[in-house]
Structure 1
Amino acid sequence: MLEKIDKDVMHVASRGWLTSRFHFSFAEYYDSKNIHFGVLRVLNDDIVAPQTGFETHSHKDMEIVSYVVEGELTHKDSMKNKETLDAHNVQYMSAGTGVTHSEKNDSESLYLRFLQIWIYPDKNNLTPNYGSFKYEKKDFVNTIKHIVSPLSGSASVKINQDANIYASLLEENATLSFELQEKRQIYLVMIEGVMLINNMEVSKYDAVKITDELTLSFKALANSHFLFIEMASAVSDVDYF
């Protein structure tokens, strides 16, 4: 089953320096029926103005992945990591027992757009950890690139949860397919473009919840950029909330 979440029903917050599209309850936006999807707790599509950003703040017991869409993201944390990442780069932070960090757009003229993804860890009170991988645009063209996996997986970035993240740049009229195992589900985000997913049309900023499907077909009606999180479909709220 494919359930489309139209961009027009999503909560968008604007703070002048920041515009955020919230896929799930976050900050001032609360909907008791839209807290999470499986182990996926937060997905924010953030646009950050030049010379601004998120000042130092704290996190605990969360696997946090950032995927840079355009511009540059500069990260600095209490583990003494400092790094600047650009388009298609992936950043990972396991907050564990507690960590502080800042995320800035240090550019003097360019806007930063990135997806901020929070996933519940498989256990609490882990030792904080940080990592990243600098993918290039060519790595994503007309293929589904596996960018994040569990610790037992094969992706370059690994997290403490049974969840995988994939991204793709699909050129107009190109097609791809993806096979799911039983009892797995997907949350997909359209970053750019227009695409058919099993004949359902989705466009920029839309999302799709995918359950009880074994095969997905993708066809780009225009150059399309998308990302999806694949995870187990049976998650007990008792384990996470």
Structure 2
Amino acid sequence: MVSLSKCCGNFSFAEYYNPNRTEFGNLRVVNDDLVQPHSGFGTHPHRDMEIFTYVIDGELTHKDSMGAHETLGRGSVQYMSAGLGVTHSEMNNGDKLLRFLQIWIKPDRKHYKPNYGSRVFGREDRHNKLHHVATSYDNYGNTEKDEGSGIIPIHQDANIFISEIDSDFTQEYLLQRRRQLYLVCIEGSLSVNKIVHMEARDALEVEGDEKDDQPLELTATGNRGAHFIMLEMAKA
């Protein structure tokens, strides 16, 4: 039987610490950040973490020690495998409020070579469907080269899906046995299996059954539809 547990959406991070909210499987951080115009996060280090950023509103300018420097808008994603160590900055150089999700996933081992890449997606890529934007290298294939389009490879047995569905539309997903997922409602409102209701910025932990695959139904319940991200992974 599938287990649905609504949560606050905040993991222990920086000055905030909750001993019951340190991780969910190999998922370490999900931050929903708001950055005022002409401000941001100056140069800082990362190490041994798979970092995935999804831009919701505004423009995010990234610059790192590997030489990457670019600005990304709504619907774009960037990823950084910090590995042996990297420094970077994330800034809002524009005149509008910036909102983005940043996700940290623990890698399957330490000391990978650092890597960076990005993808630019349109609404049509995620409209009324699950857009598969990241998967493990084992699923991706036999290359670590960033091709600049399509699915993003990460160093963990995990998958990331994004969707933006119309009001009353139902998106179905089959959660395989011994898997789990973390669901974030980004915008709008969402019903899960007609049991749990989610508003914007709500999060839900879903743990699959040990023996059987379990169906999930995600339905947009408000006039605005629903915009959500789903992080699926093996149980740790």
For the criterion TM > 0.5, the same-fold answer is: yes
3-state SS of paired residue (1:139): helix
2: distance between equivalents of 1:23 and 1:190? 13
Please state how far the C-alpha of 1:33 moved relative to its aligned partner. Answer: 1.2
Partner of 1:164: 159
TM-score (norm 2): 0.90
Does 1:44 find its partner at 2:31? yes
Deviations 1:57-112 (A, max 9, x none): 000000000001111111000000001111111100000000000000110x2111
Deviations 1:108-160 (A, max 9, x none): x2111000000000110110000111111111110011011111234521111
3-state SS of paired residue (1:153): helix
Partner of 2:232: 230
AA partner of residue 208 (structure 2): D
AA partner of residue 180 (structure 1): L
**Any conservation in 1 of the 2:175–2:208 contact (CA below 8 Å)?**
no
TM-score (norm 1): 0.88
2: distance between equivalents of 1:190 and 1:98? 31
1: distance between equivalents of 2:52 and 2:183? 15
AA partner of residue 21 (structure 2): N
3-state SS of paired residue (1:193): strand
Does 1:138 find its partner at 2:124? yes
CA RMSD of aligned residues (A): 1.1
Partner of 1:122: 108
Deviations 1:211-234 (A, max 9, x none): 12511101111211000100001x
Does 1:90 find its partner at 2:86? no
Partner of 2:11: 24
Does 1:150 find its partner at 2:150? no
2: distance between equivalents of 1:204 and 1:72? 20
Partner of 1:190: 185
Partner of 1:239: none
1: distance between equivalents of 2:61 and 2:70? 6
Identity among equivalent pairs (%): 47
Please state how far the C-alpha of 1:195 moved relative to its aligned partner. Answer: 1.2
**Any conservation in 1 of the 2:80–2:115 contact (CA below 8 Å)?**
yes
Deviations 1:19-50 (A, max 9, x none): xxx62000110011110000000000001001
Name structure 2 gaps, 5 residues minimum. 141-149
Partner of 1:3: 5
2: distance between equivalents of 1:225 and 1:55? 29
Deviations 1:181-203 (A, max 9, x none): 11000000010111111012111
Partner of 1:181: 176
2: distance between equivalents of 1:65 and 1:195? 23
1: distance between equivalents of 2:221 and 2:19? 35
Q: Relative contact order, CA 8 A, sep 6+: which one is greater?
A: 2
2: distance between equivalents of 1:34 and 1:218? 25
Does 1:61 find its partner at 2:48? yes
Partner of 1:220: 220
Flag as ranges the 4+ runs of structure 1 deviating above 4 A: none
**Any conservation in 1 of the 2:176–2:208 contact (CA below 8 Å)?**
no
3-state SS of paired residue (1:36): coil
